[in-house]
Structure 1
Amino acid sequence: MKNLFLSAAIVLGGLTSFASTSSITNPIVKTVSVQDEYTEIKVVEVPTAVTDALKKAYPDAVLTKAYKNTASQYKLEVAVGDKVGSLYANADGTWIKK
């Protein structure tokens, strides 16, 4: 009989350890995004190297807007048919992945 009470106490004691609550902490993650500020420029102000690269890569593309940042990188808004998108290029016409 003592063994029965002892084993019941051990089993109940073991089950209470599973029922205990643990505190979950949410770590605070700070992200800093560096975004180059682009200012709008006229389409005719885009260097010929960039427009030539655009014509070579996308012959049917129409350059609708252009932007430039302080690092002489260009953001080009282009339309190909009914699709509109943005491309990024350096002043020498090499494409930038963003």
Structure 2
Amino acid sequence: MKKLFFVAVLSFGSLTAFAQAGEDVALETTQTAIAQDDFSEIETSDLPEAVSTAVSTDYPSGAISKAYVNKQEQYKLEVTLEDGTTGTLYADKDGNWIEL
């Protein structure tokens, strides 16, 4: 009789555990906005020779598709490789790679 009572209590307890309403979880969404980087577009022919040389040396299969400059004479370059991949590089006026 004790076993029957124990089984009945366990069964009832486990069934009520599944019958509880789930909690509503509110997810917070965080949006990050990137500020304007103050680069203005220039012609690729207006790039300093040191920057053009750095691209051709380090990325021989790359071609500069767009170029931008800011007030600190830092250059933002959009480079396309032969296989179609594109990337953005940053360089100073002396052709040294920088991270922004």
Percent of aligned pairs sharing the same letter: 35
Whole-angstrom CA distance in 2 between matches of 1:28 and 1:70: 38
The one-character-per-residue Cα deviations of 1:48-90 (angstroms, maximum 9, x if unpaired) are 2211111211234332321224554322233443525233122
Letter in 1 for 2:45: V
TM-score (norm 2): 0.65
SS of match in other structure, 1:95: coil
Whole-angstrom CA distance in 1 between matches of 2:11 and 2:5: 10
Change in 2 beyond 3 A, CA 1:55/1:3: closer
For 1:25, the equivalent position in structure 2 comes to 25
Whole-angstrom CA distance in 2 between matches of 1:49 and 1:59: 15
CA root-mean-square deviation: 3.0
For 1:64, the equivalent position in structure 2 comes to 65
* Consecutive unaligned residues in structure 1, runs of 5 or more: none
The structure where strand makes up a greater share of residues is 1
Tell me if the contact between 1:52 and 1:93 (Cα under 8 Å) persists in the aligned partners: yes
Alignment coverage as a number of residue pairs: 98
TM-score (norm 1): 0.66
| Among 89, 94, 97, the residue aligned to 1:95 | 97
* Consecutive unaligned residues in structure 2, runs of 5 or more: none
Q: CA deviation at 1:20?
A: 1.4
